[in-house]
Structure 1
Amino acid sequence: MVEPVRDRLRMNHTKAIFLAIFVTFLWSTSWVFIKYGLEEIPPILYAGLRYGIAAICLLPFLLIRKNLKSLKQLKIKDFILIAILGVFHYTLTQGAQFVALKYLPASTVTLMLNFTTVLVALFSISFLNEKLNSIKWVGIGINVAGIVIFFAANNEFNAQLIGIFIAAFGVLFNAISSILGRSINRKKNSPPVVITCLSMIVGSILLFVTSYIRGEQLPSLGMSEWSIIVWLAVINTALAFTLWNISLRELTAAESSITTNTMPIQITIMVSIFYGESISPIEIVGILITCLGTFLVQFNFKSKTKKSKQVIPLSNEKRKVL
């Protein structure tokens, strides 16, 4: 009885890994679109439009019987935590990213965001009791080293100070939202779409309020600009963030964070494909090192050397199943 349960948990974990990687691909395409749209649309308003439209797209799913029942069962404490997640994950993190992209190249912003992994690993030990073994710590170190090597070859550190300052705040907010997201989703008290929609509503409303206070105004947009906004909202946000919350039900905070560390590589490859920018041999080395670090963090090599009862590490809630 124990082994089938463990096999199912291992399978769910593997599926969650590939699901998270797919989401990072969608998010990576977003950075290309966002950089293009920022030529016309103010950053905070742009973020508000993206997440506001996405929240509207998700609203009908709250009326599904299962989700509606789950919504009614939420306690005040749960609503508060989801609202806080919306503030940090959308208003602060995404707002900071959009503003930083106004001043910095996309590759520089994503490079800085990848240091989120170190903060998440430290925070998850203290707040989630999700300890990392030595192999995973080595993987994090290798991953960060690969990122640094990759972008050092491009001299991407020569950027405006204000952009770096804003991006640094985005790193902190991103780490906090990763911990909050993992803490809420691992309880599995509510369907991912409920958590995504509620948190996104709160975050997008605050983005619009901030945009209004800043005096940002929506310019006259053509069909291509609106197409990008709708695509970002429906596919790269409403769908992607729901899938991301599904993956967080199985992955630890550190595992989910390290997965996003592949985004700078994906973004640069996309830029190379669509804009003809070449990739140097040193950058290729950085890609390989980053992928190695991600592999070490995501997979547990102890599963083949330990006894069956130690096949995979289980969180407290999974142990209760056994």
Structure 2
Amino acid sequence: MNPAAGSAQAATANAWLRVMPAVFVVIWSTGFIVARYGMPHAPPLKFLALRFGLSVLCFGVWARMSRAAWPSDRGQWKHLAVTGMLMHAMYLGGVWSAVKLGMGAGLIALLVGLQPVLTAVWVSARGGRVGKVQWLGLAFGLAGLALVVWQKLGLGEIHPFNFLLALGALLSITVGTLYQKRFLKPCAVPTANLVQNLAACVVTWPLAVWLEQESIHFNAPLIASMAWSVLVLTLGGSSLLYLLIQRGAATAVTSLLYLVPPTTALMAWVLFGEPITVLTLAGTALTALGVSLVVRSRH
């Protein structure tokens, strides 16, 4: 290979690695927006079951065209299935169901944005190294989230059932992230995601048929929501999350999710008129500072 060409490819790869977290945050934030946009036209579990099924087909095409390697042993298939159930079926099922029951896109993003705190507590309890600077960053991030969410508690968006669904989503994405970091060996992105989405589909379809009487109403908003969910969120966002977890420490990677709530709040303000106040802006600043402290202290 030409040395100059090799250097150019290495520079391109390094540039992509630097911007990957920012791209992930933007893509992941749209998931809460799509949930609200698609909810009037489909029950949450049926929408997600269809999304997972279409994602399996897309990853199958990707795997075939790229000749991606499949997991090397039965244990990796099992671990991929577990993470698929946790990080796709249970996490997204909780988020979408909470939105269906009246929780705003910005608020659900804020609640599940507590994941880095749970991750850091777990890592610390298991004897991992979570330094003082990281704890300070996590505290700033939590304070920023609290500032933004405090004003919404009296607006009727939260009631016991949708709060429990949001809490279940938070626990699922936290456990799934830690489980993937602990047990999964590096796998090819398309085949790993295919197995994860297949497991999520197998779990979600029966629940959708059993629990939901409402039908999917196929129209332009529904098709647009589904296309974005499959092509951008699943093929793009889930693949980036998988790569980020494989490449980074669990606390540092999940701390990126602190940036998702303010990003979602901005999108929800533009698209749905969800208000942004002085407290929202102050919380955003604290959140950004917290992420910076946590991520930089890992390098």
**What TM-score do you get using the length of structure 1 for normalisation?**
0.81
1:212-234, CA deviations, whole angstroms, 9 ceiling, x for partnerless residues? Answer: 12144533321231122112111
User: Within the alignment, does 1:226 sit opposite 2:223 as a pair?
Assistant: yes
Q: What is aligned with 1:99?
A: 97
Q: What is aligned with 1:89?
A: 87
In the TM superposition, what are the counterparts of 1:1-322 in structure 2 within 5 Å? 16=17, 18-64=19-65, 66-67=67-68, 70-71=69-70, 74-103=72-101, 104-125=103-124, 130-155=128-153, 158=156, 159-184=158-183, 187-188=185-186, 190-300=187-297, 312=299
Separation (CA, whole Å) in 2 of partners of 1:116 and 1:156: 23
Query: Is the 8 Å Cα contact of residues 146 and 288 (structure 1) preserved in structure 2?
Result: yes
Query: Is the 8 Å Cα contact of residues 95 and 108 (structure 2) preserved in structure 1?
Result: yes
Q: Which moved more, 1:132-141 or 1:117-126?
A: 117-126
Change (3 A) 1:184 1:124: same
Separation (CA, whole Å) in 1 of partners of 2:104 and 2:197: 26
CA RMSD of aligned residues (A): 2.4
SS in structure 2 opposite 1:221? coil
Change (3 A) 1:232 1:222: same
For residue 48 of structure 2, what is the amino acid of its counterpart? A
Separation (CA, whole Å) in 2 of partners of 1:76 and 1:283: 47
Structure 1: where are the runs of 5+ without partners?
A: 1-10, 302-311, 313-322
Query: Is the 8 Å Cα contact of residues 45 and 208 (structure 2) preserved in structure 1?
Result: yes
Change (3 A) 1:14 1:172: farther
Q: Which moved more, 1:90-99 or 1:217-226?
A: 217-226
Moved over 3 A (4+): 11-18, 124-127, 153-158, 275-278
Change (3 A) 1:75 1:142: same
SS in structure 2 opposite 1:292? helix
Query: Is the 8 Å Cα contact of residues 108 and 157 (structure 1) preserved in structure 2?
Result: no
Identity percentage over the alignment?
A: 15
Change (3 A) 1:95 1:278: closer
For residue 29 of structure 1, what is the amino acid of its counterpart? T
Separation (CA, whole Å) in 2 of partners of 1:181 and 1:40: 33
SS in structure 2 opposite 1:140? helix
For residue 122 of structure 2, what is the amino acid of its counterpart? F
1:160-206, CA deviations, whole angstroms, 9 ceiling, x for partnerless residues? Answer: 11111111111111111111222345x32x12222112111111221
Separation (CA, whole Å) in 1 of partners of 2:190 and 2:279: 41
**What TM-score do you get using the length of structure 2 for normalisation?**
0.87
Query: Is the 8 Å Cα contact of residues 24 and 262 (structure 1) preserved in structure 2?
Result: yes
1:208 positional shift:
1.1
1:278 positional shift:
4.3
1:292-321, CA deviations, whole angstroms, 9 ceiling, x for partnerless residues? Answer: 0000011138xxxxxxxxxx4xxxxxxxxx
Structure 2: where are the runs of 5+ without partners?
A: 1-11
